[in-house]
Copies of this chain bind each other. A is one copy, B any other.
Amino acid sequence: MPSLSSAHTPLDIDAERLWSSLMDMAKVGPSPNGGSRRLAISDEDAAGRRLLLDWVEALGCTWHRDEAGNLFILRPGQDNSLAPVAIGSHLDTQPLGGRFDGVLGVLGGLETLRTLHDHQVTTLRPLTLVVWTNEEGSRFSPAMAGSGVWSGRLAQDAFFDAKDSQGVSVSEALEATNQRGDAALGSPELDAYFELHIEQGPVLEETDEPLGIVTGVQGIRWYDLRFEGQSVHAGPTPMSYRHDPLLAATAFIQAMRDELGDDRDARLTVGDFSVIEPSRNVVPGAVKVQLDLRHVDETRLSELDAAVTRLAQSAAEREGTRVDIEPIWHSPVTPFHDDLIRTLGDAAKARGNEAPQMMSGAGHDAVNVSHVAPTAMLFVPCLDGISHNEAEYASPEHCALGTQVLCDAVVAWANR
């Protein structure tokens, strides 16, 4: 009979195998400059999942999909009446995405299953490796959608009816790629959820830390703003007679930046700024701005939310324009589970690392899962903090260390 693992029988992962699998997965939907392009629920995304399934089937694992296409890979435990301990992340990428965002979490989970298989270890509780559908949100909005609809945080209509820029819905894409399953959303109940991810930020690298234990996720607020003025010919209208929405919008963005001051925990991003009916020699009639605000402290995030309205309206008024502000998403600050955080910290220490605690600046599937199961995350550094970019890079050593600590923590938790 296979034995339980313990602190006395260390389960060492195979770092070279992990790296090789990461590089093999990157070649599915390769992007021009060495990254990956596996848009959610595309043929490339399905091919990436198929490669993973080839690997786990070789370990004797079974698998199924739920109605949202979320993929659950199962490794039995000694007591399969207990809820499984989950490891998860995603395989879909940005249009010009990297090789690690999401992929490391899934293939770190794969390496955990392979390591247990190598050592013929069966944990007390069963394990499940989850691949969530459409985490990136770049083909179908919103992001983290598969985990959202699974956890009940996202309405089913909003998930299934979302359309890409070609008018294809998620439902249609799931059918076309044969990714829709039969399992009910919300099943199975999870005992706990662990997610390993690249930091997607520069903090670990700057502080020379190879690991971070994530204690929660920043609150996020998204806005669509539309500044409306009056379109007039560029030359003959003195500045004082104009109603220029572009000057209002740019003044607003600068005012928000000033509002942040030197608050290191605040993030302000304008990912899109566009002129309606642009023409070189015409004052725009309207300008659209997409705003993304984040903070680790919910009270401060609320203050910044109030500042959006106040500063947008005052900037609009100063230019004789008006502004519509549509708050389109609010994800409050999400704390993770203390016991899982401690388990990850203990596993890191046992491997010689005093991993610092930190908040995540990015949203992750773990945020959704944390509302229905105990959850925690582990970060490894990525080069220059770059992600959502073909140049995204995490070193083999950091990928291996993160996967080792993930494996150790999952096994410890599954055997508790």
A276-292 contacts to B, CB under 8 A, are 277-285, 287, 290, 292
Confirm or deny: A313 has a beta carbon within 8 angstroms of a beta carbon on chain B: no
The stretch that binds B, out of A72-80, A165-173, A183-191, A228-236, is A228-236
Q: Which residue of B lies closest to A379 (CB)?
A: B236
Give Cα distance in the complex from A283 to B269, angstroms: 6
Among candidates B96, B201, B222, B232, residue contacting A387 with C-beta atoms closer than 8 Å: B232
Tell me if B232 and A388 are in contact (CB < 8 A). Answer: yes
State in angstroms the CA–CA spacing of A253 and B249 once bound together.
11
Chain B interface: which of A2-10, A337-345, A358-366, A397-405?
A: A358-366
- Decide: B273 and A281 in contact? CB cutoff 8 A: no
Q: Produce 1/0 per residue, A94-107, CB < 8 A to B.
A: 11100000000000
Measured CA separation A244–B256 after assembly (Å): 14
In the complex, the answer to whether A199 meets B236 with C-beta atoms within 8 Å is yes
Q: Which of A17-25, A118-126, A259-267, A346-354 binds B?
A: A259-267
Q: Is the CB of B271 within 8 A of A236?
A: no
Nearest-neighbor residue (CB-CB) of A231 within chain B? B389
Distance (whole angstroms) from the CB of A251 to the closest CB of chain B: 6
Smallest CB gap from A262: residue in B:
B240
Smallest distance from the beta carbon of A386 to chain B beta carbons, Å? 6
| Contact assessment for A271 and B279 in the assembled complex, using a CB-CB cutoff below 8 Å | yes
Give the number of copies in the complex. 2
Q: How large is the interface on A (under 10, 10 to 19, 20 to 34, 35 or more residues)?
A: 35 or more
The complex places the Cα of A257 from the Cα of B238 at a distance, in Å, of 13
Given A278-B272, A279-B138; A237-B385 close (CB under 8 Å): yes
The answer to whether B271 touches A274, judged by C-beta atoms less than 8 angstroms apart, is no
Instruction: Say yes or no: is A129 at the interface (Cβ < 8 Å to chain B).
Output: no
| Complex Cα spacing A157 to B237, Å | 33
A57 interfacial by beta-carbon distance below 8 Å: no
Q: Which residues of B contact A388 (CB under 8 A)?
A: 231-233, 279, 281-282
Report yes or no: A235 in contact with B360, Cβ–Cβ below 8 A.
yes
Per a CB cutoff under 8 Å, which of B235, B250, B285 touches A200? B235
* In the complex, chain A residues 51-106 whose Cβ is within 8 Å of any chain B Cβ: 94-96
A1 at the interface (CB under 8 A from B): no
- A312 in contact (CB, < 8 A): no
Is B234 touching A202 in the complex (CB atoms < 8 A)?
no
**Quick check: A273 and B271 within 8 Å, CB to CB?**
no
Output the least CB separation between A281 and chain B (Å): 5
Instruction: Say yes or no: A294 contacts B254, CB within 8 Å.
Output: no
Measured between alpha carbons, how far is A203 from B234 in the docked complex, in Å?
A: 14
Interface set of A (CB-CB < 8 Å, partner B): 94-96, 137-138, 143, 199-203, 206, 218, 220, 222, 230-241, 244, 246-247, 249-251, 253-254, 257, 260, 262, 264-275, 277-285, 287, 290, 292, 294, 360-363, 384-389
User: Can you list the 10 inter-chain pairs with the closest CB atoms, starting with the nearest?
Assistant: A201-B236, A235-B361, A236-B361, A272-B278, A234-B269, A235-B362, A250-B250, A200-B233, A271-B280, A200-B236
Q: Can you list 21 pairs linking A and B with CB atoms under 8 Å apart? A: A95-B277, A200-B232, A201-B238, A203-B238, A222-B280, A231-B388, A232-B386, A234-B292, A236-B360, A236-B385, A246-B273, A247-B270, A269-B282, A270-B284, A273-B274, A274-B275, A278-B290, A280-B290, A280-B292, A281-B292, A285-B389
